[in-house]
Chain A
Amino acid sequence: MSIFLTLLRRELAAFFYSINGYLIIAAVALLIGESFSTVIAILGSDPSPMPVTELFYSTNYFWMIVLLAAPVMTMRLFALEKASGTFETLMTTQIGDVAVVAAKFCGAIFFYLVAWLPLLLCLLIVGHYARQHTGLDAGTVGGMFLGIFLIGCLFISLGCFASAITNSQMAAAMVSFVLGMSLFSLAFLAKALPPNSDLTQIIPYFNLFDQMDSFARGVVDTRVIIFYLSASFFFLFLTLRVVESRRWK
């Protein structure tokens, strides 16, 4: 456990000691700010029945952030260590592969959540100046961030996998972007297909849009939580297999 914490500290240091980390945070903050100004414009023109968090989600900047930021955050994780050779020094110590994958994933998720913090500030500003407080309560904010966390888990585990299979950061970012876009397209497909047809029993689970929309409204469905967590575990498992693969004969 203490070795895991040591590794996690090092991962977080790699994010926060580098200019890249702050560039990513700034870019995400910019997109959140854009969506904030859009939300303010909507709220100013006509009153909306939607909760503020759902308004934020409906600006679609949300997907831009997830699709672009996750590959950029994760591309470094394994690819850079492999390219620079530190992967070799790392893997010849007494740490297990599981600890390495877990620490890298947790570090990236933490950084991802930190990058989302400006949204909380935006919500507080809206909440502070809104005349009525029904549009914003702890439930909707909590639901929104739970959704952000779960979708983050999925896309960052995808990114981990992409980074583990190559030693070029560029290739890692592209692979994880393409995988992310495929998931995104699958969500379109899931939305377009008629519900309850036998063939597509699994497809509706990929309807990321409606799921995230419910989270933004403060509706939490355990089936969805389990779907996201198991999908993330699946990709982390694949990552682990890739990391182990150098030991295969």
Chain B
Amino acid sequence: MIEVSNLTKRYAGRTAVDDISFTVARGEIVGLLGPNGAGKSTTMRVLSGFMPATSGTVRVGGFDVFHDADEARRRIGYMPENNPLYPEMRVREYLKFRARLKGLGWKNSRSRVDTVMEQCGLKDVGRRIIGQLSKGYKQRVGLADALVHEPELIILDEPTVGLDPHQIRSVRTLIKSLAGKHTVLISTHILPEVEMMCGRVLIMFGGRVLASDTPENLQLRMAGGSQVITEIAAPEKALREAWDGLPEVEQFNVSASDGKFFRCALIARDGFDLRATVFAITQKNGWELRELTRSRHSLEDVYVQVTKPSQEERE
């Protein structure tokens, strides 16, 4: 659906997007993750056809967004950052206006506006003035606008920014419901959002795509695997010897917990899952086991490790 190849965008003296390439298949929900200033919005602006690329090509549905702008735009529903709307218009009037601008005829625009208002839960506020709506409703109006011409690709730039948790949840549900029918590209700097909604993540930093994979794979790739936490009632020395004897354990740490229990943190080699091994050892030695969990690296760890902006900032 989207083919970006060697896209570079330079503003006067500053490179916002630096030679990135990626593709997005039809029906995917892809999250563009990165800190502020990573080039997410610029990438989206180029994708939407608002700005031309300095070099490189962007194709949407096989059409170049710059040379075949009309054909490409017909396939794109774009909601820019901060979801700009005309505050003095009424919801229905605004959506109708937008539908007309996107080339829908009178009758068609009327039925499409009805459909998207239903879809985005705007039925009750059709007559309300946009400026007086809550932020959550405004966001839905923006989404409805992006959907109104039935685009194959929906580009949403930070769709949940500034919403309260309830509103975020409903907007996310709405976005999830688009999966399958539409291809969705979302930018965000909120990690759980990506984990919840997206089938694939592109991590951007400093104008480059640093990683591109499913959230699960990214977590797996992190630090060579997972950490196992276990609490066992056994002599400390015996525990240390047991972990030393296991070739799969790369590192371990044993510390006293309450009572006779010891808390052991084990880091496995090459993503090996230690849980079964640990359980087998306790069984064999007749030790009492009260906790055995795998603590996985969250996407946040991946993100921090890949981008590492904070170190420079701290110095």
Contacts and interface: CB of A to CB of B under 8 A. Distances in A.
Interface string B252-293: 000000000000000000000000000000000000000000
B100 interface: yes
Contacts of A2: 100
Contacts of A7: 101
A248 B145 CA distance: 27
Interface stretch (B22-30, B76-84, B237-245): B76-84
B100 A14 contact: no
B52 A92 contact: no
Interface string B123-151: 00000000000000000000001000000
Contacts, number: 67
A78 B79 CA distance: 19
A126 B74 CA distance: 57
Select the residue from A14, A84, A90, A93 with max chain B CB neighbours within 10 A. A93
Majority SS at the chain B contact face? loop
Nearest to B78: A92
B84 A88 contact: yes
A14 B100 CA distance: 17
Contact of A3 (B51, B54, B73, B101): B101
A6 interface: yes
A93 B80 contact: no
A94 B101 contact: yes
B103 A18 contact: no
Interface stretch (B32-40, B85-93, B163-171, B199-207): B85-93
Interface residues of A, number: 24
Contacts of A249: 52-54
A95 B100 CA distance: 10
A124 interface: no
B182 to A, nearest CB: 17
A14 B73 contact: no
B101 A246 contact: no
Contact of B100 (A3, A13, A89, A91): A3
Interface of B: 45, 48-54, 66, 70, 73-74, 76, 78-82, 84-86, 88-89, 97-98, 100-103, 145
24 contacts: A2-B100, A7-B101, A10-B97, A13-B88, A14-B86, A17-B88, A85-B80, A85-B81, A86-B84, A86-B85, A86-B86, A88-B45, A88-B78, A88-B84, A89-B78, A89-B80, A92-B48, A92-B76, A92-B78, A93-B101, A94-B101, A95-B101, A247-B51, A248-B52
